[in-house]
Amino acid sequence: MSPHVTALTPADRVVAFLDLVKSLRWPAVAVLVLLLLQVPLHGVLASFPGMDAASRTMMAGHLPIRVDEQGLPAANDEVVHAVRSMDGDLLRIFLDMDQTAVYCGSLDAEYRAGLRRLAHINLVEARYEPQRGGECAQNTVMTEQGKRVQTYLISLMVSLLKG
């Protein structure tokens, strides 16, 4: 027995065409939205001062900074917590520190306050070493955690600047 084939009437063709259009409407809407938003998205990225969306490069003054997530060092929880705990002034003091230095003697009030805040987040520690004598019997040094956080931050800056 052979299958029975009937010719489509003009009304059936219209219904089939409408069904086809209905089935394609969501993919068509998605493609249309992407096409419509493509230019504005590039515009938003380009609106950041000095940002070139195509090369993912931002200008900080005269220094190009390349923002590429795959090229950046990964931050562990220790680093994330420490950096989130610091404001700009504290970060400046922290990055100014030498990892092997002993801080003692006459430090200005802002620096001493910064060292206390850094000790609170375990990046430096206060020590009492009477053998050092005088003003340096009480001193502050960077902890191992502080060294790891500072090394990460320096590595991140190098990655951003060298891309």
What pLDDT does residue 147 have? Answer: 94
Report which of residues 111 and 68 the model is more confident about: 111
- Range 59-62, long-range pairs (CB < 8 A, 24+ positions): none
CA distances from 49 to 52, 54, 72, 132 (A): 9, 14, 22, 51
Catalogue the long-range contacts made by 52-60 (C-beta closer than 8 Å, 24 or more residues apart). Answer: 57/163
Please report, for the domain that includes residue 99, its CATH number: 1.10.10.10
Tokens of 63: 């220094």
Contact 43, 110 (CB under 8 A): no
Q: Is residue 124 part of a domain?
A: yes
pLDDT band at 152 (very low <50, low <70, confident <90, very high): confident
Q: Examine residue 14 and state whether it is found in any structural domain, yes or no.
A: no
Residue 91 lies in a domain: yes
Phi, psi (rounded to 5 degrees) for 13: -65, -40
112 part of a folded domain: yes
Please report whether residue 27 resides in a domain.
no
Residue 154 in 3-state DSSP?
A: helix
- Average pLDDT (150-158) is 84
Asked whether residue 19 is domain-assigned, the answer is no
Q: Report if residue 31 sits inside a domain.
A: no
* Mean pLDDT, the chain, integer: 75
What pLDDT digit, counting tens, does each position of 35-84 carry?
Answer: 555 555 455 555 555 555 555 676 666 667 666 666 667 788 898 888 88
Q: Does 16 have pLDDT greater than 60?
A: yes
Residue 52, pLDDT score? 52
Pick the residue with more confidence: 72 or 148?
148
Residues 80-104 have a mean pLDDT of 88
Q: Domain residues for 86?
A: 74-162
Q: Is residue 122 part of a domain?
A: yes
| The predicted structure's pLDDT at residue 146 | 94
Instruction: Report how many domains make up the chain.
Output: 1
